[in-house]
Amino acid sequence: MTTLIVFFGLLFAGLPIAGTILAGAIAFMLTSDLSVLYDSIPIQFYGALEINSLLAIPLFLLVGEIMNKGGLTQRLVAVAEVLVGGFKGGLAYANLFTNAMAASILGSAVAQIGVMSKVMIPAMERAGYPRAFSGAVTVSAGLLGPIIPPSMLMIIYGVVAVQPIAPLFIAGIVPGLLIVLGLALVIFLYGAFGPGLPAGERRERSHSAKVVVAGLVPAIIPVVVISGIMLGVMTPTESGAVASIIALALGFAYREIQVRHLGKILLDVATNTATITGLIAAASVLSWVLAFQGVPDMVVETMKGLTQSPFLFLLLVIAMMLVLGMFLESISVLIVVVPLLMPVVKTLGIDPIHFGVVCTVATVIGLVTPPVGPGLYIAMVQADIRMGPLFRATIPFLLMVLAILVLIAAVPALSTWLPGATL
């Protein structure tokens, strides 16, 4: 109890989450008479970072930074407008499908919502879409970032759960496509039975062909990443390096990036990498201390006492992840909770790859749920709208994502079939 008080007290006081986790670990040592472990904290902290899979994090962060600053997002938007912009509510569908394409490059929901909010919310509002609806489509579609490969959360799950990254990447494809279809259905129902949506705008075929050819060039990046991993030609880390080179070459080719921009890009990547790896190292200390005291075994016995059903266990995990996601950032939820639950996962015979997909989708929903919900705050600033109207407009999309998440939990093959068939 003392550990929880310290943890949440420091969290709400504004201490960085890595420091909060580390302080919680030390508080647990104090209250559990584990002072003998103090001298080993630096070794454990450093040892958590000696994992080759962590090299993929800065590489895919670099891809995202280059995409943001290299004008690739605007080209994806133009392609989506050509493909689906002619339908009723076409700009909403364009928003959704641009997010789906960007997710295969960025891999981060927060970065994706930030980029797309600047581009799509003003454009949709000018076209006659309600401001709250425009923001809701943007933040909901932004959830695809950590699901469709390459995914930063999948990398982090793979590290903390000691699972291979490649199958996790591939496992996110089918669930990601299901969520895209589900969100498209919500847009359709809003237009058919709700207040209605503006008519689409069709473009000349010659102009459309040029836009598609020019805009699909960035699609080389996810094609190289996914095909390279599926064919066994590259590891996820190597695919991140190749993707970074391609993104940088495109940025220079489009003349959106110059040599003088590289310093700022690399600094941002280094800062974000340090934040993420600091979280992982601090969480490894906490997990190590809890394991030393036998807490994972107690969690296993408690969860087994609640249910022996893998599906009901996954529903309990989803509920817990949703609640924690309202207060903690998704990366923090994963690195704190997953090591504790993995023994239960193995005991119940749940596929760790399937569990990783369920956890990733569940934690990412917290990005758009109050009271924290960083995705909501980003869209609030861009759309100049209060949280209440924005969140109310987001609810139908969130309910659809939750319904698909329950389906994924109930049908493990949705996560495991494609990795098993290709790797």
Predicted local confidence at residue 357, as pLDDT: 93
Which pLDDT does position 358 carry in this prediction? 94
Is residue 200 domain-resident? yes
Tokens 């296993």, located at residue = 300
Within a domain: 25: no
Number of domains in the chain: 1
pLDDT given at position 169: 86
Distance CA 106, CA 126 (A): 27
Do the domain assignments include residue 14?
no
What pLDDT does residue 23 have? 79
Residue type at 129? Answer: Y
Domain-embedded: residue 187: yes
Instruction: Give the per-residue pLDDT at 204.
Output: 56
Query: Using alpha carbons only, what angle is made at residue 275 by residues 269 and 281, rounded to the nearest 5 degrees?
Result: 130
Cα(323)–Cα(371) distance, integer angstroms:
11
Question: Residues 6 or more apart from 54 whose CB is under 8 A from it?
Answer: 155, 159, 277, 280
Q: In degrees to the nearest 10, what's the CA dihedral of 17, 20, 26, 28? A: -100
* Domain residue limits at 239: 34-422
165 vs 51: CA distance, rounded Å: 12
From residue 331, give the alpha-carbon distance in Å to each of 79, 153, 205, 278, 367. 31, 7, 44, 11, 11
Residue 259 falls inside a structural domain: yes
The answer to whether residue 38 is domain-embedded is yes
Closest CA to 389 of 189, 128, 134, 186: 134
Residue 7 lies in a domain: no
User: What interhelical angle do 131-141 and 90-106 show, nearest 10?
Assistant: 30
The answer to whether position 3 is within a domain reads no
pLDDT for 397 equals 92
Average pLDDT across each block of 10 residues of the chain; the chain has 423 residues. List them in order: 70 72 78 71 75 76 75 69 68 81 67 73 80 86 80 84 87 91 90 69 59 68 79 80 84 79 85 79 76 68 78 90 75 80 88 93 82 70 76 90 94 91 73
Report whether 13 contacts 271 (CB < 8 A): no
Residue at 146: amino acid letter: P
Q: What is the pTM of this model?
A: 0.80
